[in-house]
Amino acid sequence: MREYLADLHIHSLLSPCAEIEMTPKNIILNAKKLGVDIIAITDHNACDNVPAAIEAVTLNNLNVLVLPGMEVESKEEAHFVVLFEKMKQLNEFEKFVKENMSNLKNKPDMFGAQFIVDSDDNFVAEKEELLISSLNVELVKIVEKVNSIGGIIFASHVDKPTYSIISQLGFIPPDLDLTAIELSPNIKDIEKAKQLFPSISKFPILTNSDAHTMYDFINGPKTKFYLKEPTFNEIKKYLKSMYNQ
């Protein structure tokens, strides 16, 4: 067992709220500089830049694990990060997301552009669908879908006053089959957070940067995992062992 540093909530320039500097290659190169062993690219309701990040690791001969992921917004306007072992699983989940997305088109001047790039950060396309909108599916169904594919799902930034499960529901349902929960970079004291939000106490707690800029990624919180090896299955096993029944 050894310590691995992870940031499992990073937005690329595909998310309209992220800066253009957040390219897959730039993210993985900075991960290496920072000593971050495991990352996840988790754009809003889309995953088009994940393959570029995975390929960039190989092309640059870096020892960084990129987990295929996405941040989704439920019908209740609560955010969740989903992670998978393989792109094949994420692609299956992406179909589910597309089936439940609105038909709204993005307005780049209002919301920001949504860029898809390759592993060398070359422009590929601009996504037309508005990604920062809620899906027409309840959070319970999202959790069920992720678990049925064998993924990891955690509630994003549960302490935030907007777009979190607690801000929308007031608590976390005790029977909701989440893998973990995430605290935002605003929270410095996890024990105090447990007092403020008692319903989080049973869940493993993650701290990630939720980076939308490179400054966020460099300076934001990370999570330490103690694993036999840096793999999706080891992370999932570790989180399961931290669950408080």
pTM of the full predicted structure?
Answer: 0.97
Residue 212 tokens, joined: 């939308």
Torsion, Cα of 215, 206, 95, 126 (10° steps): 0
| Residue 155 confidence (pLDDT) | 99
Burial class (CB in 10 A: 0-12, 13-18, 19+), 39: buried
Q: Which residues contact residue 182 at a Cβ distance below 8 angstroms, ignoring those fewer than 6 apart?
A: 9, 81, 154, 155, 156, 157, 158, 205, 206, 207, 208, 210
- The answer, yes or no, to whether residue 245 has pLDDT greater than 60, is no
| Residue 102 confidence (pLDDT) | 93
| Residue 188 confidence (pLDDT) | 87
Q: What is the CA radius of gyration of the chain?
A: 17
| Residue 213 confidence (pLDDT) | 99
DSSP symbol at 78: -
Q: How far apart are CA 148 and CA 146, in angstroms?
A: 5
Work out the average pLDDT over 37-62: 99
User: 244 falls in which pLDDT band (50, 70, 90)?
Assistant: low
So where are the chain's domains?
2-241
3-state SS of the chain: helix, strand, coil percent to 5?
35, 20, 45
CATH of 2-241, one of 3.10.310.10, 3.30.450.20, 3.20.20.140, 2.30.40.10: 3.20.20.140
pLDDT in tens, 89-102: 999 999 999 999 99
Q: How far apart are CA 229 and CA 162, in angstroms?
A: 36
Work out the average pLDDT over 178-185: 98
User: 174 falls in which pLDDT band (50, 70, 90)?
Assistant: confident
Q: How many CA atoms lie within 13 A of 37 on its CB side?
A: 14
Specify whether the backbone of 221 is left (phi greater than 0), alpha (psi in -120 to 50) or beta: beta
- The answer, yes or no, to whether residue 237 has pLDDT greater than 90, is yes
Q: How far apart are CA 152 and CA 175, in angstroms?
A: 16
Query: Count H helices, E strands: the chain?
Result: 9, 10
Q: How far apart are CA 109 and CA 37, in angstroms?
A: 36
Helix (H, G, I), strand (E, B) or coil at 56: helix
DSSP symbol at 49: T
| Residue 197 confidence (pLDDT) | 95
pLDDT in tens, 200-218: 999 999 999 999 999 999 9
pLDDT in tens, 106-158: 999 999 999 999 999 999 999 999 999 999 999 999 999 999 999 999 999 99
The full DSSP string for 88-129 is HHHHHHHHHHHHT---PBP-HHHH---EEE-TT--EEEE--B
